[in-house]
Amino acid sequence: MSMRVQIAPGRLLAIGMFLLGVIDLAIWNIHILAIDLALTAAVGIPVAAFQAGYLTLMQTAVADRFRRRILGALATTTSLLMLAAIPLSGALAGVVGVVPMLDISAFLDALGGIAAFLLLVSPRSRAPAPAQLSEEVV
């Protein structure tokens, strides 16, 4: 007997991102080795959920013709922002401390999950339909 659960990609992305932030916040602030080890092992689950939701949304919301360009642009933008954030976070960590910087990162992940939930899962939003290419875009 198999049990199958379907979760909408937007909900999966939002839940994964929120749980990533919550678990990271716990990892950085709970100083009990056994709990930290268990949470460090468990944090991969929400990361996988986030990635699955993200990639599913990208595949269903972008026309086949543009998918590689969009994914490439997002990957490039993410990489450039990471390169800019590394020295900035290093400089700020010297001022406010490493753990507060990690707490800010975890809080922003959780906040991003809440925002994703409100934008992608709320009753006001609808499931993304496959993108259609109009003649005007060409």
Confidence of residue 85 (pLDDT cuts 50, 70, 90): very high
Measured at the alpha carbon of residue 69, what is the angle toward residues 66 and 75, in degrees to the nearest 5? 135
pTM for the model: 0.80
Distance CA 43, CA 75 (A): 22
Q: 27-61 pLDDT, tens per residue?
A: 999 999 999 999 999 999 999 999 999 999 988 88
Cα pseudo-dihedral 4, 60, 129, 64, rounded to 10: -150
Q: 3-25 pLDDT, tens per residue?
A: 777 889 999 999 999 999 999 99
